[in-house]
Amino acid sequence: MCISQLELLIPTRYWKLNCFVGIHKPNTMKKFLICFSLIAFLFCSCQKSNSPKNTIDPIELRIDSLLDQMSVVEKIGQLALRGRSSRGEDALPEELLESVRKGEIGAFLNVMDTTHMRQLQHAARFESSHGIPLLFARDVIHGFKTIFPIPLGLAASWNPGMVEESSRIAALEASSVGIRWTFAPMLDICQDSRWGRIAESPGEDPYLAGELARAYVKGFQGDDLAAPTSMAACAKHFIGYGAAIGGRDYNTAIISHELLYNLYLPPFQASVQEGVASFMSSFNEVNGIPVTGSRKLLTNILREKMGFDGFVVSDWNSVIEMIAHGVAEDEEAAAQLAATAGLDMEMTSTAYEDFLEKLIKEGLVSEDQLDFYVRNILRAKFRLDLFDHPFIPSDHPGTFYAAPSLQLAKEAAIESSVLLKNDRLLPVRKSAKILLTGPLADKGREQLGTWTFDGEEEPSVTPREAIESADFFEGLSFSRDKDFSKITKVVDAARFADVIVYVGGEEAILSGEAHSRADIRLPGAQEACLKELAKTGKPILLVIMAGRPINISNLIDQVDAVLMMWHPGTMGGPALHDMLYGLAEPGGRLPVSWPKMAGQLPYFYNHKPTGRPATAESFVSINDIPVGAWQSSLGNESHYLDAGYEPLFPFGYGLSYSTFSYKDVMLSKNTLQEGEKVEVSVTLVNEGTFDSQEVVQLYVHDRTGRITRPVRQLKRFQKVKLNKGTMQKIHFTLHYDDFKYYDNEGKFDIEPGKVDIYVGGHSSASDKQTILIQ
């Protein structure tokens, strides 16, 4: 019994060599004494009691052993994440290997040459003083080789199971080349489609984002983090990155206490509950303090209140960027801010390496704090089983582009696609003569979307390749193409078609980090091309591939159907083929509100009512104001004269090829007290002629609170498949605590009063019942 504990406690290289046959070698006597002491300690522990209460965590004891042996400089080395170019790699410098041997580096980003990886790992594990393995990281965001829809697209699936499976495949493929840490999932709530990184976001709702957070962590980390097919997940960007003013990347975030706890923190809390291994601090400031230097956020909230026990890594250079923020005079001050805030690991910049030893000697940062950081990082490496299995196993089961993976990627693209309009066009008959056109109809690389460093164009199947029977005429050759001469040729080709399928949107580079847009209309000459095609009188299917909702207000009445595919990934073409011909139907629902124009942004369904909420009865449009009208406050409500008060499409919206109705929303009780629950039921009827699926959504509205409350809040959802002409009773359970919320004083509670409960197919659903909270 004690021997088995000892084998876990002491690293294999000490157990088999140093403790027994290596004490005659230089520098091994100390290791022998440590091993002997541990044996004695463990023997005494075993003699004292076998009760679970006295069980020793072998990982923590191994960490204690290492910390006792490490110098301050070696400890600081564990805090160093060194970056390599994401484009590729040069030869491995000998100086880099020597730094690893000296224990000056703890992890690497973007090392993709497996020979280099093995050299570096060998140097760390078998040529350094303490044999601490390296951790190799990569941005594996929505697939490694097999690329799935962008995260905003996966959020549109409203299918956490699909998200978990896609993340499992990403981990399987990436770990096969030694990547054991990914910088995903991104859990930033975003309410502004101008922001480039909305493409990576789970959307605007904290409940949906929380369900997806759990799925991502389960998928990446698997059932056992020690398995060679698992990757440590990283919840990012903590916190408020998606709240950037104006949707401009890296910009300031101003977040009240109630919004922080009710809106932005819940998906991160869900990831902690699921056991996420790491967090990433965000670039931005929150209320005047950059997150990377905020003890309130990184320690008081993340560690103490949320209970996170993993490690926190900075974003790229965000430690030294606190100088530009204006809160650190130089890199030494930046290192002190980050170290006292609660940042475990520094990505790419070297402020810790250059100044942390000095700061410790001067008493400005304690060595106990350093030990805490090293302990968190070592714990992750032990949990990943990197000490005993530092290399890629020869029998690793990961395979790129495996048939089941490609099938799931196709299903994910279908599940994520949102049908926004369908004026009796889809599905089309198989015999229809189709003109396939548009700048993204045959762009395998572009349909992969942002953050696909390892995705490849050749295995990616485009609409042109998948819809072989269509006549193809590209026209505009890229999304920003302004060559109007190409439009005439497309229009000429359209005259011989029964249906026009236009695949447009944004190239992948137009969304993602640092790629915010003030104007979110279709770029280039795409609008002009579609308007000319509309003049032919031929029915048009507009397929959008983009990293954000696109302003199509000027086009919506000129096309017959609109299908939002986001950037669908490797199997976007086959997915479109099946949806086009009715072999499958779009299964997505919007995870964000779709604005009429950028001037409405930020826009979100869960807004506050204001003292003058807009209504259809009192709204006054800019076109309805009489010339020479008296200078009065027409309408007297919160709206835009030229855009109204509603989005083009609400959160949760999406059509199917069938028609659903909701009947008999019922509650199991009319009052609710502390500790109780209420059952909510509704009858869903498929009244159409297709077997179909619907996302049944439940929202609540607290009529009167101690602070103002959102007009709607998503609390539950179910994705339901229902045969044509059938009905099904859908059940939800709400607990008393589901109605509680945080106020600006930090109080989490619900006061007595009425709460409306809505059930329907999107956030504007009107079927409701009311419950009295007592």
Residues marked active site are found at 315
- Selection from 589, 546, 543 nearest residue 156 by Cα: 589
- Strands (E) in 224-327, as ranges, are 234-238, 278-281, 285-286, 289-290, 311-313
Helices (H), 326-467: 331-341, 351-361, 367-383, 403-416, 463-466
Residues contacting 629, CB < 8 A, separation 6+: none
Q: Report residue 363 as tokens.
A: 């008493």
List C-alpha distances in Å: 189 to 206, 243, 559, 583, 760: 7, 7, 31, 34, 23
Rounded Cα–Cα distance for residues 586 and 406 (Å):
18
DSSP lists the bridge partners of residue 285 as 290
Q: Of 107, 123, 103, whose CA–CA distance to 115 is shortest?
A: 123
What is the DSSP track for 340-378? HHT--BEES--HHHHHHHHHHHTTSS-HHHHHHHHHHHH
Crossing angle of helices 367-383/351-361, nearest 10°?
Answer: 140
What is d(CA 538, CA 559) in angstroms, rounded to the nearest whole number?
A: 9
Q: Rounded to whole angstroms, how far apart are CA atoms 271 and 234?
A: 9
Is the preceding peptide bond at 427 cis, omega within 30 degrees of 0? yes
Which residue's structure tokens are 């309410």?
191
Please provide the size of the chain in residues: 774
Looking at residue 96, its amino acid is L
Please choose, from the candidates 13, 14, 6, 69, the residue with its C-alpha nearest in 3D space to the C-alpha of residue 42: 6
Closest CA to 656 of 724, 731, 733: 724
Please list, in sequence order, all residues whose beta carbon lies within 8 angstroms of the beta carbon of residue 236, skipping any fewer than 6 positions away: 183, 184, 185, 186, 187, 188, 279, 280, 282, 315
**H-type alpha helices, 243-350:** 257-259, 266-273, 295, 322-325, 331-341
Kindly list the distances between the CA atom of residue 549 and the CA atoms of 233, 420, 559, 595, in Å, as whole numbers in the listed order. 27, 11, 17, 8
